[in-house]
Structure 1
């Protein structure tokens, strides 16, 4: 199982966390986020995949950020259509399509996106498109019946990792953010290191 550390913001902190070699690092390009990234991207080890997080951005905005920051994956956190994903796929970049889950979530909606994205990401439905800092009921994932690998997100803390490792589903990566911070966008490198150690065991 892999790990994605999302909501990176400050160059020195990005370098510190990057030295731990997480599989993915996420950068949020939604201006309303307290973790909005608009800075200079430090050089990172080549093994780290850079993920750009967008909320209902235009194709032009996404292309601009791909080129500026040399992004490896695009995470779509809004109401992006299947057609929009198809157009984005033409750029030859991997796509993570996010779905916000609550007790009423209909897993059938995933089927039409299966062919136009590389991964799903399941987050907790809340007031914000993401970063609400709370987990959802993972028992709901038992309704997931597709082979498409996914990222699991939503208020995940260090204490949750052992439980997640026992979930018998195609979890590609765990996405961590607010529970590993000292303030929005500033990650606690010790906690991140502990998380990476836990996942690798």
Structure 2
């Protein structure tokens, strides 16, 4: 049984307030940027207790899983390969093993400790050596040489679904052709 999570509870309260049907409709109409910004804004993450960096990045990971599912984008979440934890891989671990250029790893550090983040990135580099295919999602970027999506401020995170669609639409794998977006 899952432990109670105020972050996930807040996400699903916000989804319920906005309405799942409206979110699905916005995704289908390619309005993902505005709906992601609305979900983040209405969730009032700063009011949750605990470390704000961890809160924002955990929230973004949960939201990302929800959005990928809703947009019908193939992905796998919370998997381990060669004793390395992967937050989200698109489309799947099999593709990561067979065609690294066709797989994207989404990494939510949940810390601003550069030493810990860099150590984890070094491990991820061993299974995804194409640096451009490791995307960081952070409350605020720390200037690392990876594609980084910020949740706070300008909220470049709101562009991530469009970027995933753009990056994967040219791939040869047919599983990428079923996007709702």
TM-score (norm 1): 0.32
TM-score (norm 2): 0.34
Identify, as 1 or 2, the structure richer in helix: 2
Identify, as 1 or 2, the structure richer in strand: 1
